[in-house]
Structure 1
Amino acid sequence: MLVEEIMKTEVITLPPTATIQQALDLLNQHKIRHIPIIDKENHVIGIVSDRDVRDASPSIFESDEGSNNLQHEIQSIMSHPVITIHPLDFVEEIAKIFYDKEIACLPVVREGNRLVGIVTEKDMLYTMIQLTGTHVQGSHIEIKVPHRPGILPEVTAIFGKRKTNIVSVLVYPSKDDPEYKILVFRIQTMNPLPVIEDLREAGYELLAPNHTAGPLK
């Protein structure tokens, strides 16, 4: 999946000369957490978060003179340079940027660093839900398989014999044995027992569900 498929294209922005008060008003009005700061050519030159604005706002215990802080230009508190991504980047790869950099928002830019969209950590979480198929009613099956070429089509053939629709497949290494992988299937059926029995008969180690009392919801 590409970034352009999940990014928001209607982005609230401010010029660097806008005031902190203006940023505060926009954050509250639109219920957002980040505002990209752009120049006249729509280049991203900074970003401001609700935390930046909150830290710059006067405390309720300060005198009225403290409210003058809100009239300072937003460029005085913006973060820069800004980590940006491209519309044709893969979503799975930018997830690592969110994790490694511990950030909650990534502006999306095209040639010349011109802003065309934005992706937030909430967008990423929703996308992960879609990619894993958990938004679709069905059943979850995990099996442990040898890490060798051709193992995935072998396993999916078992689902195919039952004409079971596979919503999503995840593959990750086994923590206990590097010679094995864990396959996680989301299948569109409320009764996975026939498939589970077929998998066991084929000799695969079932990790979840680890019982056969009924369908897994």
Structure 2
Amino acid sequence: MNIAFFLLPKQEVVCLPHDATLRQALERMEYHRYTAVPIINQEGGYCGTVTEGDMLWFMKSRPGLTFEGTNKIKLSEVPLRMNNKSVNIDANMDDLISLSKVQNFVPVVDDRNHFIGIVRRSEIIDYCQKGLSERA
């Protein structure tokens, strides 16, 4: 099965630019109620995924940091706890299933490594459930 069928295109994905501030990241994630968001560089490439936990642990390690001060911190300064891997648009469902065990979503890139969207874990689980139901 072609994974493009499951792709949520970039235009519909909440992303953060690599040069965003910590405050922008916090506010965007709060507004959309997401716990993890992909980070995209200026060229449109996927850089990684920032999570609430990444930001929380970063802020905890800086006792003097106030919410107002988060607008002076670049998101690129926040260490990412996990290296969420992306897949190429030509990947197969086995690749998605494997990554979805440890990631909420799987970022998808094109042949130039430009971010083109995500496949949500829920879509992958639905695909697996449908396959199991058809076997029964």
Q: TM-score, normalised by structure 1?
A: 0.52
Kept after mapping to 2: 8 A contact 1:41/1:114: yes
Kept after mapping to 1: 8 A contact 2:36/2:52: yes
- Runs of 4+ deviating beyond 6 Å: none
Summarize the alignment of residues 1-217 of structure 1 with structure 2, pairs less than 5 Å apart.
Answer: 1-9=1-9, 10-57=12-59, 65-67=65-67, 70-71=70-71, 72-79=73-80, 82-99=84-101, 102-133=102-133, 168-169=134-135, 185=136
Cα distance change, pair 113–27 in 1 and its aligned pair in 2 (3 A): same
Aligned residue type for 1:75: S
TM-aligned CA deviation for residue 69 of structure 1: 5.2
Give the whole-Å Cα distance in 2 for the aligned partners of 1:131 and 1:92.
13
Kept after mapping to 2: 8 A contact 1:57/1:67: no
The gaps in structure 1 that reach 5 residues or longer are 134-167, 170-184, 186-217
Give the whole-Å Cα distance in 2 for the aligned partners of 1:18 and 1:57.
16
The one of the two structures with greater contact order (alpha-carbon pairs below 8 A, sep at least 6) is 2
SS at match of 1:46: strand
SS at match of 1:17: coil
- Determine what percentage of the aligned residue pairs are the same residue: 19
Cα distance change, pair 131–26 in 1 and its aligned pair in 2 (3 A): farther
Give the whole-Å Cα distance in 2 for the aligned partners of 1:69 and 1:126.
42
Give the total of aligned pairs: 131
TM-aligned CA deviation for residue 52 of structure 1: 1.3
Q: TM-score, normalised by structure 2?
A: 0.78
Kept after mapping to 1: 8 A contact 2:87/2:109: yes
SS at match of 1:75: helix
SS at match of 1:83: coil
Give the whole-Å Cα distance in 1 for the aligned partners of 2:79 and 2:48.
6
More helix by share: 2
SS at match of 1:28: helix
Give the whole-Å Cα distance in 1 for the aligned partners of 2:49 and 2:70.
17
SS at match of 2:87: coil
Larger Rg: 1
Give the whole-Å Cα distance in 2 for the aligned partners of 1:73 and 1:115.
21
